[in-house]
Amino acid sequence: MRIVLDRPRCEGHGLCEEAAPHLMHLDDDGELILDREMVDDDADAAKAAVRVCPVAALRLE
């Protein structure tokens, strides 16, 4: 499983960062950066990040 970001759709709200700070962060320009590939232990946090995105810019594959 991996997180896929639809970059043009992302508005930089940061809710995903709050849900999974070890997987992603917003840079100084408000752009979402995926920090690393997911491992099995990250699944719950990744699902939460996808779920809280108000513009559906994230999905899991």
Please say if the pLDDT value at position 4 is more than 90.
Answer: yes
Q: Supply angle C-alpha 53, 36, 41, rounded to 5.
A: 80
**pTM (whole model) above 0.75:** yes
CATH code assigned at 35: 3.30.70.20
Q: How many domains does the chain have?
A: 1
Phi and psi at residue 34, in whole multiples of 5°? -85, 115
Q: Note the pLDDT tens digit of each residue in 25-57.
A: 999 999 999 987 778 899 999 999 999 999 999
Residue 4 pairs in a beta bridge with 59
pLDDT of amino acid 57: 98
Question: What pLDDT, on a 0 to 100 scale, did the predictor assign at position 1?
Answer: 86
Domain region containing 37: 3-60
pLDDT value, residue 39: 81
Residues 6+ apart with CB under 8 A from 55: 9, 10, 11, 13
